[in-house]
Amino acid sequence: MKKVELNKKKKQDALLNTAYQLFTEKGFQKTSISDIVNEAGVAKGTFYLYFKDKLDIRYKLIAKKSAEVFKHAYQELQKQSIDHFEDQLIFIVDQVIGALNANPTLLKLISKHLSWGMFKNSLVEPIDDAQRNIYDIYMDLLKNSGHEFDHPEVMIYMIIEMVAGSCYNVILTGEPVSVDELKPYLYQSIRLIIQNHIL
Amino acid sequence: MKKVELNKKKKQDALLNTAYQLFTEKGFQKTSISDIVNEAGVAKGTFYLYFKDKLDIRYKLIAKKSAEVFKHAYQELQKQSIDHFEDQLIFIVDQVIGALNANPTLLKLISKHLSWGMFKNSLVEPIDDAQRNIYDIYMDLLKNSGHEFDHPEVMIYMIIEMVAGSCYNVILTGEPVSVDELKPYLYQSIRLIIQNHIL
Amino acid sequence: MKKVELNKKKKQDALLNTAYQLFTEKGFQKTSISDIVNEAGVAKGTFYLYFKDKLDIRYKLIAKKSAEVFKHAYQELQKQSIDHFEDQLIFIVDQVIGALNANPTLLKLISKHLSWGMFKNSLVEPIDDAQRNIYDIYMDLLKNSGHEFDHPEVMIYMIIEMVAGSCYNVILTGEPVSVDELKPYLYQSIRLIIQNHIL
Amino acid sequence: MKKVELNKKKKQDALLNTAYQLFTEKGFQKTSISDIVNEAGVAKGTFYLYFKDKLDIRYKLIAKKSAEVFKHAYQELQKQSIDHFEDQLIFIVDQVIGALNANPTLLKLISKHLSWGMFKNSLVEPIDDAQRNIYDIYMDLLKNSGHEFDHPEVMIYMIIEMVAGSCYNVILTGEPVSVDELKPYLYQSIRLIIQNHIL
DNA sequence: CATGAATGAGCATTCATTCAT
DNA sequence: GATGAATGAATGCTCATTCAT
């Protein structure tokens, strides 16, 4: 990468990081472009060199942060020696819940915006070639599970929605139970759903 | 109810109906208070006689519309003679999915805002005394099921989140499968979760 | 007129007057809405209660000012006892040129924006019922002229364009001749055009 | 001309042509320098190597396009054998009106900006030495007319303004009459004005 | 109870111009 | 000569809310 390109990447990162900080601090609506560029130390116009508009930076931010969480969970998985597919998936879910529980502002940000489409698109076009696509990782886990699955897409979809939906309130409000109280039932439900899809 | 009170109710209803129409047509953000009062034919100030602010009318609107959907599902249930608790719950879920599938704009509106808290509060303070509280209805179904349940709140919570989350994308985008393709897996998952909670 | 309505009229007038002052001082482009409302002593939003946007106030302003000039010229005509139609028309033209020559900033403002459509629409919906419509005045002069004219609309149209176009540069730049040098030729040309249209 | 200079000329022409296309498509205000350079395929900075600013390119563009129209009209005149000065002038006017009528976007562009000054300056410093200055052409027609004229500058000035003003609305809006309906009266008016200036 | 004129803080976005490379 | 990343001033417009009538 040339010097100029490196500089560009650096500026975009500065904007993304600043935006993350402000969005989680003050909320998306209450954060203005001015806030972001002032904090990031660039000119207003520079923002529009890197992002189409305010929604664009939120989208890119969520994609980036979500990918980080998933990637980290997968890296942790690889440090373990977990054989069964169910255990692997639950391990990843547990890692992700742990990360979000430790960082509720991140949860709030990605919360209602982490759509199926983003997951399918690997949460972001792979910035780094070496990095694996999240969806591909899931497909690999499936393949190596030694099982055949009925509609694996539907299976993962339902699990994601159940986990995401359940955890949102629980982490942010503690209602209707605490995260730790929820987990055993949630993980058991995941196991049941998986087993139900094994052919 | 006195004549004056009836008149007040009428105006509030006019505002709620207009807001519903505009929110679903143009979206919440893009709908201004001015739009609502112009369409409803009342003065700007009158709005603030009935609603605290813009968020207040959305909250009341979602509560009202959600209650309507649930109440209707329950009424349909009573017309049937379904014995088992699982079948009853799935019947209600099916009715609700049917209603939302037939009215995606309603789904969009309540979508991400139908929180556990609203459900717990019966989706709205009972406007009509005769009407039963939705949460109470659920508790009654439980009681009459002939079973004892482990953490029934957690059970219904997970089911709601799974159903709500799964159906949102599926109805609005058809991704990753169609509603009809999803249903058998979704309902089977509900059964498994319920059975897992039977003591 | 009620007190409230009077107040509204007053505010609109204040805005129009301020806008006139600023548009002629600094030009249309260089004058911002902020400039206008600050000077007029009203809030930004108030501007948009009375005018659709920046173009709207310019249109209304030109209409108002043009009407004033024409009305004044007609009033002066009535003080004279001029019999012939040609002399009447030239008297009005002379009055208008005099007014614009004395107020070149007004000329600049209305200059390129005084379209045929505005003239046809009497330069503005008659604010005052008592006031005669400019186009109607012209038609009356025609009727009382004792002549029949071939295409009187085309006749007045060509005269207006010739006069307006010729005077713009002459008044503002003195090129290619002075106003006083132009007048005899211009008025003679008007006479020729009129005679050419008498049947 | 050297190769380097040819290259410069080429780039300037590319910018002028692109600007013409965009100005007529989107309007002057709505066209940005960025639009022009992107479309022309040169860098932003390059624009400022050839034009002082945005107004400069418009001025040069109008001058160029107007000259083209006039030059073409004069070339057509030379193909005819028209003796009388009046007929020659009206032929040219007719040619120009024809050209503008066939290309209203060009009319819109030069419309309100074709000042007397530009005409006097031959609509642009002669790009090509061989090409005759428009004002000179007019003076030649006058000289060869066999007449003496009183204030020929005033005469041509009034005619230009009458023609330009009259045709603008008529071509663009069809108001108050069509071009074809206007022409006989317009041309007759031109004849009268000319005759009035013959000594 | 109802009105609706007035408010004014707030914000996204554009774009001509420069200058280091 | 050519580039294009960076600038940052400038501005039109919205809209929830209030309060005098």
Residue A1 has pLDDT above 60, yes or no: no
Nearest to A49 by CA among A33, A61, A66: A33
Identity of residue B173 = T
Average pLDDT over residues C66-72: 88
The Å distance, CA of C35 to C1' of E5, is: 22
Do D153 and C177 touch, CB atoms closer than 8 A? Answer: yes
Q: What are B96-125's pLDDT values in tens digits? A: 999 999 988 888 888 766 666 666 655 445
The mean pLDDT of chain D is 86
Average pLDDT over residues C140-148: 90
Beta-carbon contacts of A34 under 8 Å, excluding residues fewer than 6 positions away, are: A44
Q: What are A116-171's pLDDT values in tens digits? A: 666 665 544 544 444 567 788 888 889 898 899 999 989 998 998 888 888 988 99
**Tokens coding A168:** 């949102």
The predicted structure's pLDDT at residue D92: 94
Rounded Cα distance between D76 and D67, Å, is 14
How close C119 gets to chain D, by Cα (Å)? 11
B116–A151 CB contact, under 8 Å: no
Identity of residue A142 = L
Tell whether the torsion through CA atoms of A6, A8, A9 and A15 is positive or negative: positive
What secondary structure letter does DSSP report for D130?
T
Can the peptide bond before residue C126 be classed as cis, meaning omega within 30 degrees of 0?
no
Q: What are A103-117's pLDDT values in tens digits? A: 888 888 887 666 666
Average pLDDT over residues D118-133: 54
Write the CA distances from A23 to A57, A103, B15, integer angstroms: 11, 13, 33
Write the CA distances from C106 to C19, C24, C159, D183, integer angstroms: 12, 7, 20, 32
The Å distance, CA of C113 to C1' of F16, is: 37
Residue A21 has pLDDT above 80, yes or no: yes
Rounded Cα distance between D140 and D58, Å, is 30
Rounded Cα distance between B90 and C175, Å, is 88
Rounded Cα distance between B40 and B83, Å, is 45
Residue A89 has pLDDT above 90, yes or no: yes
End-to-end, the C-alpha distance of chain C in Å comes to 48
How close A107 gets to chain B, by Cα (Å)? 14
CB atoms within 10 A of CB A183: 18
**Tokens coding A59:** 């989208």
Residue B157 has pLDDT above 60, yes or no: yes
Average pLDDT over residues C18-43: 91
Rounded Cα distance between C159 and C151, Å, is 13
**C189 contacts on D by Cβ (under 8 Å):** 158, 189, 192-193, 196
Write the CA distances from B100 to B23, B75, B105, B126, D154, integer angstroms: 16, 17, 8, 22, 77
Q: Mutual orientation of helices A85-102 and A134-143 as an angle, nearest 10°?
A: 150
Q: What are D126-171's pLDDT values in tens digits? A: 444 445 677 888 888 999 988 999 999 999 989 988 998 899 889 9
B5-8 LR contacts (CB < 8 Å, sep 24+): B8/B50
Give residues 1-40 of chain A lying near strand F (Cβ < 7 A). Answer: 4, 7-8, 11
Nearest to B96 by CA among B183, B27, B189: B183
Name which of D162, D175, D177 is nearest C162 (Cβ-Cβ).
D162
Identity of residue A20 = Y
Residue D43 has pLDDT above 80, yes or no: yes
Rounded Cα distance between D160 and D163, Å, is 5
The CATH number of B1-51 is 1.10.10.60
Nucleotide F11's nearest residue (CA vs C1') is: C32
Best interface-test mutation with A: which of B115, B153, B154, B182 has the largest number of A CBs within 10 A?
A: B154
Nucleotide F20's nearest residue (CA vs C1') is: C4
Residue C140 has pLDDT above 50, yes or no: yes
φ/ψ of D81, rounded to 5, equals -120, 85
The Å distance, CA of A7 to C1' of E21, is: 14
Cα Rg of chain A, angstroms = 19
Residue A41 has pLDDT above 70, yes or no: yes
User: Strands, DSSP E only, in chain D?
Assistant: none
Q: Is B5 helix (H, G, I), strand (E, B) or coil?
A: helix
The predicted structure's pLDDT at residue C121: 61
Name which of D117, D186, D196 is nearest C192 (Cβ-Cβ).
D196
Identity of residue D155 = M
B188–A196 CB contact, under 8 Å: yes
**D162 contacts on C by Cβ (under 8 Å):** 158, 161-162, 165-166
Burial (0-12, 13-18, 19+ Cβ within 10 Å), C6: exposed
End-to-end, the C-alpha distance of chain B in Å comes to 47
Print burial letters for A150-173: b (CB count within 10 Å at least 16), e (below 16): ebbbbbbbbbbbbbbbbbbbbbbe
Rounded Cα distance between C159 and C164, Å, is 8
φ/ψ of B149, rounded to 5, equals -120, 145
> Could you tell me the residue ranges of all domains in chain A?
1-51, 63-197
Q: What is the pTM of this model?
A: 0.79
Nearest to D179 by CA among D155, D161, D195, D163: D163
- Residue D114's pLDDT band, with cuts at 50, 70 and 90, is low
Better-scored residue on pLDDT, C7 or D42? D42
Nearest to D143 by CA among D135, D118, D77: D135
H-run or E-run covering B144? none
B192–A196 CB contact, under 8 Å: yes
Beta-carbon contacts of D101 under 8 Å, excluding residues fewer than 6 positions away, are: D107, D167, D171, D179
**B193 contacts on A by Cβ (under 8 Å):** 189, 192
Do D182 and D93 touch, CB atoms closer than 8 A? Answer: no
Nearest to D190 by CA among D155, D138, D154: D155
Can the peptide bond before residue B126 be classed as cis, meaning omega within 30 degrees of 0?
no
Nearest nt to the A56 alpha carbon by C1': E12
Average pLDDT over residues D13-30: 90
CB atoms within 10 A of CB C40: 20
How close D96 gets to chain C, by Cα (Å)? 18
Tell whether the torsion through CA atoms of D16, D17, D19 and D24 is positive or negative: positive
Write the CA distances from C131 to B33, C57, C136, D20, integer angstroms: 40, 22, 11, 46
How close D126 gets to chain C, by Cα (Å)? 21
Strand F proximal to D11 Cβ, under 7 A: yes
Which residues put CB within 7 Å of chain E, the nucleic strand? A 30-34, 44-45, 47-48, 53-54; B 4-5, 7-8, 11, 42-46, 49; C 4, 7-8, 11, 42-46, 48-49; D 30, 32-34, 44-45, 47-48, 53-54
Q: Is A79 helix (H, G, I), strand (E, B) or coil?
A: helix
- Residue D62's pLDDT band, with cuts at 50, 70 and 90, is confident
Residue D47 has pLDDT above 60, yes or no: yes
D161–C157 CB contact, under 8 Å: no
B177–A151 CB contact, under 8 Å: yes
Residue C123 has pLDDT above 50, yes or no: no
CB atoms within 10 A of CB D140: 12
- Count of CB pairs separated by less than 8 Å, C with D: 97
B120–A196 CB contact, under 8 Å: no
How close A165 gets to chain B, by Cα (Å)? 5
H-run or E-run covering D49? helix D44-50
H-run or E-run covering D150? none
Give chain A's contact residues with B (Cβ, < 8 Å): 112, 115-117, 120, 151, 153-155, 157-158, 160-162, 164-166, 168-169, 173, 175-177, 181-182, 185-186, 188-189, 192-193, 196-197
